[in-house]
Structure 1
Amino acid sequence: MMKNKIKKINLLFYFFIVLIFTFTQFNLTCHAAEQSEPIILGKHYDIFRDPSKKITIEDILSGTYDNSFVASKDNYLSFGHTNDTIWLRLDADEILKDQQESYWIEVTDKLDSIEMFLVKEDGSYSVQKRGISNIDEQKIHFRSNLFEIEDPTVKEIYIKLDGQLPLNTISYLFTTDSFANKIIDYKFLTGIFYGFLTALLIYNLFLFFSLKEKAYFYYVLYMFSFILYQATLNSLDIELVGQLLPKWLFIKSAAISGHILFLFMILFSKEFLELKKYLPRFHKIGNILLGITIFSLITSFIIPDVTVVNNFTSIFAVVVFIFLWLSGVFVWLKGHKMARFYIVGWTVLLGSIIVQAFAFLSIIPFHPIIFEAVPAVGAIVEAIFLSLALGDKINIIKKEYQEMQQLLTETLEHKVKERTQELESAKLDLEKLANTDRLTQIPNRVRLDYVLAEAIEHAQHHDAPFSIILLDIDYFKEVNDEFGHQVGDLVLMNVAEILQNTIRPQDTIGRWGGEEFLVICPQTTLDDAVKLSEKLRQRLENHQFPVVHRKTSSFGVTSYGDGDTLNTLLFRCDKALYQAKEQGRNCVEFLIDDVPVSIK
């Protein structure tokens, strides 16, 4: 009776954990669906294969290979192991709909080298390099390859794929807001998934210390190796330690962690199923597979050809899993009832691994679900049923079981708490990233629009004055043309610093776009705003800038009036700035009843 009671508690506990995990995932999915949906880019690509590996972006832009590009028919592209260089082309006008928005392209696959070229209408381009060979190029430590498109006026986007790893491309286009939501949901689900597996590992580790059974020890090692394998498969190794370990290790990490997983799978199954006692021949085959696993693990460090290593790992995985599944079936047929839980868990996991192997070998169509949802479900189900099987061995020690169950609950709560704190931190970082101009580190257009809207609403309801100042660096284009964009960037950063240090605490300064800056002055009349503008103009005029030494700025000033909207206010301020430029620049122009007045 006690045995059945503990078994029922075990079943109820794990069902509850799965229910929480599934419900959380459903809620987060629904939340994400309420935001702007990302675009799956697969069918938007045109594809060109370069067997020579010598074609450059200049060759592509020359038009020589325009007719060689072929439209993609798949949402998710998989070229497998290939010696070709793969070029992908995107029509920016087709996907970048909002010219005022910034965008992110995410390529989720682990790649050796991936480069993105953002081509403007005049043929000039910028390049962003990602992949294992360019880990240091990506400023945000994340498992995927991330590309930021700050200038949505680009006309074409080219992506170059190369390297030793399979050239698979699961890619999405996000707005900044939708990408922030995606990362938040991803971090939370990842914490739940790995937190559950880690808690299960700790739970069984304590059972091993209590019972001194080898099966529990091998199960802990198996769970650890599975977490390691899943992390490398999902590129979490790059996200967590990408800056610390040699790059070649990440190229081979899936094969290496896979062999470690095979090793502990075999050890656990041999011990748990007692193959030496029930199936001596299978026990010998298991020893042979152990030898092959160890030898293959060692050679995977030595063999330079990643294609050979990965293909052998995929095929060997199917062989090992089929052997372990058959072992469970034959032990169960011999009357070992504990194997029934083993068979159920291993059947689900075997199916998921076989599906992954077939997709890896291009036998079945490539799809992200195969490498995300399928192994996650397989891992959860398999881990639960193996634990249930092991749970049959602790029916005689109720006290120890209750202590371990309490430990598991506390550990899981601690893990969820840690992940929640990480989520909050990530959210704050992303909000700052979304509202800050990367170059000058002052508020960007998105933040300024929000502050302006609030100021107008406050003025409408409280009859409170406020003014805005729009300034433009005079002849800024000449700086870029004569001295280069790096000097231009220094001028912009200096201007931002001067403005930030000169305005009042209640004012908001931000980069409006290009060389234009906007100052929002709450509780400020037009006269006070003009005085502040003149102060800013003099500070800029007297400042010694790097290389260019002296730069001046033109100012347009206006104040909120009854009936003003965001558009009318900005239009009047922009008109004042235009008048300042017409008056010869380096002056302050403000509007009183649409009559421009300037201050030199």
Structure 2
Amino acid sequence: MFTLVIHLLVPLVSHAAELSKPIVLGPHYDVFRDPSNDIKIDDILSDEYDKSFVASTQNYLFFWHTDDTIWLRLHTDEVIHDKQESYWLEATDKIDSIEIFLVKEDDSYEIQKGGISNIKSKEIQFRSNLFNINDSSIKEIYIKLDGVLPLNLISFLYTTNGFVEKIIEYKFLTGIFYGFLSALSIYNLFLFFSLKEKSYLYYVLYMLSFMLFQATMNSFDIELAGRFLPEWFFTRSVVLSCNMLLLFMILFGREFLELKKYLPRHNQMLKVSLWITILSFVAVFITPDVSIVNNFTTILAIVVLSFLWISGLCLLLKGHNMARFYMVGWTVLLGSMIIQALGFLSIVPFHPRLYEDVPAIGAIFEAIFLSLALGDKISIIKKEHQEMQQKLNETLEHKIKERTQQLEKAKLEFENLANTDRLTQIPNRVRLDHVLEDELKRAQNQEVPLSIILLDIDHFKAVNDEFGHQVGDIVLVDAAKLLKDNIREMDTIGRWGGEEFLVICPQTTLEDALQLSKKLRKKLENHSFPIVERKTSSFGVTCYAQGDSLNTLISRCDKALYHAKDKGRNCVEYLIR
């Protein structure tokens, strides 16, 4: 172990040196299955079971879920050619318990233990199970596999230099893979915050869950958190992450393809699949036999992935072009994951590439295709922009004139918006000030009469207190409409503030203004408002007198209004001076 650490820390002196290539150990094993689970290493070494060992014909051993204890025998002469070299035996799979017995020429042996059951005592925090072979007297190696997890063994034999090279290469490629998917996830997350489209969020969650699934498949959870999390987590981490991946894949597929809108039956089927996935996720924690959940989740994955692909195909056949990118990008990815699932079920030959290369290639292909699709979309927009620019140049004068008209219209709309009370849609105080100032100048310069009316809805605060501000707003809107409909064409009514309204009556004597006020008071008194039904109003009236300013005119009208309130409200009062 000290030798491995030194090589990890010291730079490689020469890249030209030929490093040892790994030996695939699968074909060199002899296999013995112990259904009793009682046979010990001493029993094996007694030669009693020599004839029970059968030569392996597989490069990568695959036993899936079995109750048997698996014994493997390896003759070192077949694989170790330099007895003075230090070697490392790597078993890349997640295994509950793996024990390696290094049998020497004198039939004594050393034991090295690995697997999840020995994770806390693991000296080298690495994703694989590593065993050091550095004794030239070792003649045979026996490996004992046991546990509830699938008993698969992808194993290699490295020289120390070869293993260091393998770690460097693997870390480099792994960094590129996860870095690429992380960058893609961050990009789509920014798109989600910008566009507020749920499909982007589900896609990000899908990508993150896919990375988590691959990490657990490749045992990175053991490498990163082996000393911190309980053993039961690592026996179930793959199936947990697989269910999580299915969950977000269903959510993304439904949202992206808009199945609720275009294929409601498919949407209902996926909704059922969603709940089944959630139940499967929960079952991982409570089901004693993890093999049942493993098999169920694998079958569920094939069904869900196939159904998502079929849904995309149906939309494409119906002429929905949005499904083009989905179908091309996801066909390879979903196909690769289906192949992976079929490998777990032993329908296709088991191979380590099913764990890493196949889904990784599918994921990268999908990401690259979507990037190309985005580039294609940008190219189309650019082409449309060039055509639009060409048309704009051809009809520049017309466009400028049209744009000017639009700007003038927008200006008028803006001015109207700035001068209109947002709630009642009648002139606000800013507009009333302008109108009143203009009419006062006319009265002063042309010696024509001018009257104003200030009215207040009685006990309006009680409406807000008893019924709420929303009902109060309804009363104000109703009152504004009623007043607007019952004034003269020459008059201007606006919201002065709160529950107060101001009516400007140009070329109107005090007597005529009083008549209009009485009319408006009766209209309000007899009007049936929503919810509150009856409301009354108090009126203050005045007219322009020689020497009046804007402030004196408004102040006098305000005093008249207070006189009306003092006299019991629901009446009209006036002041001349």
CA 175–355 in structure 1, closer or farther in 2 if over 3 Å, else same: same
Q: 2:356 maps to which residue? A: 372
Report the Cα distance in structure 1 between the residues aligned to 2:108 and 2:288, rounded to whole angstroms.
38
Q: 2:275 maps to which residue? A: 291
Report the Cα distance in structure 2 between the residues aligned to 1:32 and 1:239, rounded to whole angstroms.
31
Report whether the alignment pairs 1:244 with 2:228: yes
Report the Cα distance in structure 2 between the residues aligned to 1:48 and 1:72, rounded to whole angstroms.
10
Report whether the alignment pairs 1:256 with 2:270: no
Amino acid at match of 1:47: V
Report the Cα distance in structure 1 between the residues aligned to 2:183 and 2:169, rounded to whole angstroms.
21
Report whether the alignment pairs 1:187 with 2:171: yes
Report whether the alignment pairs 1:177 with 2:157: no
CA 186–75 in structure 1, closer or farther in 2 if over 3 Å, else same: same
Q: 2:329 maps to which residue? A: 345
Report the Cα distance in structure 2 between the residues aligned to 1:233 and 1:161, rounded to whole angstroms.
19
Report the Cα distance in structure 1 between the residues aligned to 2:279 and 2:17, rounded to whole angstroms.
47
CA 74–266 in structure 1, closer or farther in 2 if over 3 Å, else same: same
Q: 1:166 maps to which residue? A: 150
Q: 1:110 maps to which residue? A: 94
CA 119–301 in structure 1, closer or farther in 2 if over 3 Å, else same: same
Report the Cα distance in structure 2 between the residues aligned to 1:158 and 1:271, rounded to whole angstroms.
53
Amino acid at match of 1:76: Y
Aligned residue pair count: 368
Q: Deviations over 1:231-261 (max 9, x none)?
A: 0111111111111111111111111101110
Q: Normalising by structure 1, what TM-score? A: 0.59
Q: 1:276 maps to which residue? A: 260
SS at match of 1:155: strand
CA 192–99 in structure 1, closer or farther in 2 if over 3 Å, else same: same
- Contact 1:342–1:389 under 8 Å retained in 2: no
Amino acid at match of 2:49: Y
CA 133–237 in structure 1, closer or farther in 2 if over 3 Å, else same: same
Report whether the alignment pairs 1:122 with 2:135: no
TM-superposed deviation, 1:382 = 2.3
Report the Cα distance in structure 2 between the residues aligned to 1:368 and 1:46, rounded to whole angstroms.
20
- Contact 2:84–2:134 under 8 Å retained in 1: no
Identity over aligned pairs, percent: 68
Q: Deviations over 1:453-508 (max 9, x none)?
A: xxxxxxxxxxxxxxxxxxxxxxxxxxxxxxxxxxxxxxxxxxxxxxxxxxxxxxxx
CA 33–358 in structure 1, closer or farther in 2 if over 3 Å, else same: farther
Report the Cα distance in structure 2 between the residues aligned to 1:32 and 1:198, rounded to whole angstroms.
34
Report the Cα distance in structure 2 between the residues aligned to 1:157 and 1:207, rounded to whole angstroms.
55
- Higher relative contact order, chain-length normalized (CA < 8 Å, sep 6+): 1
- Contact 1:119–1:156 under 8 Å retained in 2: yes
CA 84–216 in structure 1, closer or farther in 2 if over 3 Å, else same: same
Amino acid at match of 2:54: V
Q: Of 314, 318, 327, which residue of structure 2 is paired with 1:330? A: 314
- Contact 1:108–1:144 under 8 Å retained in 2: yes
- Contact 2:90–2:130 under 8 Å retained in 1: yes
Q: 2:6 maps to which residue? A: none
SS at match of 2:138: coil
Q: Of 288, 305, 317, which residue of structure 2 is paired with 1:304? A: 288
Q: 1:404 maps to which residue? A: none
Report the Cα distance in structure 1 between the residues aligned to 2:79 and 2:275, rounded to whole angstroms.
52
Report whether the alignment pairs 1:313 with 2:308: no
Amino acid at match of 2:149: L
Q: 2:448 maps to which residue? A: none
Equivalent positions of 1:81-160 (< 5 A) are 81-160=65-144
SS at match of 1:129: strand
TM-superposed deviation, 1:152 = 2.9
Q: 1:356 maps to which residue? A: 340
**Quick check: 388-397 or 313-322, which moved more?**
388-397
Which runs of 5 or more structure 2 residues have no equivalent in the other structure? 1-14, 383-577
Q: 2:208 maps to which residue? A: 224
RMSD of the alignment, in Å?
2.0
Report the Cα distance in structure 2 between the residues aligned to 1:392 and 1:209, rounded to whole angstroms.
23
TM-superposed deviation, 1:384 = 3.4
Amino acid at match of 2:310: L
- Contact 2:214–2:356 under 8 Å retained in 1: no
TM-superposed deviation, 1:197 = 0.5
TM-superposed deviation, 1:331 = 1.3
CA 316–386 in structure 1, closer or farther in 2 if over 3 Å, else same: farther
Report the Cα distance in structure 2 between the residues aligned to 1:33 and 1:343, rounded to whole angstroms.
47
Report the Cα distance in structure 2 between the residues aligned to 1:161 and 1:106, rounded to whole angstroms.
14
**Quick check: 347-356 or 193-202, which moved more?**
347-356
Report the Cα distance in structure 1 between the residues aligned to 2:265 and 2:370, rounded to whole angstroms.
23
Q: Deviations over 1:549-598 (max 9, x none)?
A: xxxxxxxxxxxxxxxxxxxxxxxxxxxxxxxxxxxxxxxxxxxxxxxxxx
Amino acid at match of 1:310: N
- Contact 1:338–1:392 under 8 Å retained in 2: no
SS at match of 2:296: helix
Q: Deviations over 1:169-204 (max 9, x none)?
A: 111100000011000101101100001001110111
Q: 2:19 maps to which residue? A: 35
TM-superposed deviation, 1:394 = 8.4
SS at match of 1:252: helix
Equivalent positions of 1:459-498 (< 5 A) are none
- Contact 1:222–1:261 under 8 Å retained in 2: yes
Q: Deviations over 1:191-219 (max 9, x none)?
A: 00001001110111011111111111111
CA 312–393 in structure 1, closer or farther in 2 if over 3 Å, else same: farther
Q: Of 69, 88, 97, which residue of structure 1 is paired with 2:53? A: 69
Amino acid at match of 1:197: L
SS at match of 1:157: strand
Report the Cα distance in structure 2 between the residues aligned to 1:296 and 1:323, rounded to whole angstroms.
18
Q: Deviations over 1:40-77 (max 9, x none)?
A: 10111011000000000011111111111111111111
Q: 2:504 maps to which residue? A: none
Q: 1:200 maps to which residue? A: 184
TM-superposed deviation, 1:96 = 1.6
Q: Of 55, 60, 64, which residue of structure 1 is paired with 2:39? A: 55
TM-superposed deviation, 1:351 = 1.4
TM-superposed deviation, 1:124 = 0.8
- Contact 1:270–1:276 under 8 Å retained in 2: yes
- Contact 1:338–1:389 under 8 Å retained in 2: no
Amino acid at match of 1:101: E
TM-superposed deviation, 1:32 = 11
